[in-house]
Amino acid sequence: MLIPQEIICKKRDGGELTEEEIREFVRGIMTRLVTEAQIAAMSMAVFFRGMSRDEVVTLTQAMRDSGSVLSWDLAGPVYDKHSTGGVGDVVSLMLGPILAAAGGYVPMLSGTGLGHTGGTLDKMDSIPGYNIRPDKELFQKVVREVGVAIIGQTGDFAPADKVIYAVRDTSATVESIPLITASILSKKLAVGSDYLVMDVKVGSGAFMPTYERSRELACLIAEVACSAGLRTRALLTDMNRSLAPSAGNALEVRDAIRYLTDGDSRSRDLQQLHLVTKALCAELLALSGLVPSVSQGEARVEELLAGGQAAEKFSRMVRALGGPADLTERPDKYFPAAEIVRPVYADRSDPAQPSFVQTIDIKGLGMAVVALGGGRTRTGDPIDFRVGLSHLAVPGDEVDSEAETAKPLALIHANSEADFCEAARRVRQAYRLGPEKVSQPVAVYEVF
């Protein structure tokens, strides 16, 4: 018989839980024999005491088994991708169509943004008519016929994770690496993926506070996923600048469309975004054997972008899930501008000296988007899809104070003067300037 407090006590005192104890606890969550207070207590015990790899594997599988588990019979490999979040991280919108164009299938469950990080699901929700929560039958149909579907988590998949995460969010245990790992992987296993690539961010806009903690998370995810039967690569990528030149839902979708349809943009302002997207895709293509090496995977990505096949997959996915058939051709028709679109300039004490962007507080930029109404401070807050930042300056850019030919720190897209002024204050605070030109951050640090 399940006695939750005995299991909690064992973990609190540093003991290793058995497979039976972990599965019983998760079953108790689903049958409501385990209370929210007991979930919070267990989460805090894990936060301080940690879990062994075997414990995390069992927890992941138990959470997966709490709901539906899909099994695919498809002509190619089933891929998935997860990012620990950041600012301007629109990678999923290009990665899914690229992999589908390469012959894979991508059933991707995405999430909403919280805090300074943007959510893939909010970006998709900014597309008029797009159904972010289709029923399971439509989801499977789109994956089979198009090759990619980006949707939100439904109650069918890993419902225990949804309950546990809500409690973690209110009990200061979100940062627990074992619980993060189980949360991510339970959903990936539930949708029947064969191969996963993890994009673990490093830097001032990353979820984890240090390089070492990000590395620890990447290693554990790769180990646990492989132990659970999901072949995985984990990449440490940079989040010391906005990945895309825009931050804000509709603005980032525009960047994704431009990335897929305009080759020149991938070598200019979307270059950092391209390096990360290409690296993630190439790792999956090589891991699954669709190409013999990562370098040939990168070449294949370039071919699919140049030939327009990836853009076509994106258009078909949008159309199949209720969005406009001509979104990629006429984005202006579907993404109205904010009431105010105006630059914000640097504050400079000595205008005679050159001034280069040295470092950026990326979390600060993300919170500027939230202050505009483009993000949430609480789950369930409404989002204004029009607002955000674009033309963001990056490390090494020379900026100037307000003048007719000056380069701004960003363009602010706001719907009131008060919102513009608050966002401008936050943007200026986020940038540190200096007289020396610095190099761009590295795009990819390590691969596990």
Beta strands (DSSP E) in 290-430 are 340-344, 356-360, 388-390, 410-414
> How far apart (Å, rounded) are the C-alpha atoms in residues 100 and 136?
19
**Could you say which of 11, 23, 123, 187 is catalytic?**
187
**Could you say which of 116, 168, 233, 426 is catalytic?**
168
Q: What is the pairing mode between strands 106-110 and 148-152?
A: parallel
Q: How many helices (H) and strands (E) does the chain have?
A: 17, 11
Left if phi > 0, otherwise alpha if psi is -120 to 50, otherwise beta: which for 221? alpha
**Could you say which of 11, 82, 363, 386 is catalytic?**
82
For the question of residue 81 being annotated catalytic, the response is yes
Number of CB atoms found within 10 A of residue 122's CB: 24
**Could you say which of 11, 23, 81, 274 is catalytic?**
81
Q: What is the 3-state secondary structure (H, E, C) of 179-212?
A: HHHHHHHHHHHHCCCCEEEEEEEECCCCCCCCHH
- Residue 200 phi, psi dihedral angles, 5° rounding: -100, 120
**Could you say which of 80, 199, 361, 384 is catalytic?**
80
**Could you say which of 43, 183, 237, 355 is catalytic?**
183
For the question of residue 241 being annotated catalytic, the response is no
Q: Which of 372, 307, 414, 320 has the alpha carbon at shortest distance from 127? A: 320
- Residue 291 phi, psi dihedral angles, 5° rounding: -135, 155
Q: CA angle at residue 377 from 376 to 379, to 5 degrees?
A: 70
Q: Which of 228, 221, 203 has the alpha carbon at shortest distance from 85? A: 203
Q: Using the 8-state DSSP alphabet, how is residue 408 labeled?
A: P
For the question of residue 80 being annotated catalytic, the response is yes
Element (H, E) at 170: helix 159-170
**Could you say which of 58, 60, 66, 83 is catalytic?**
83
Catalytic residues: 80-83, 120, 168, 183, 187-188
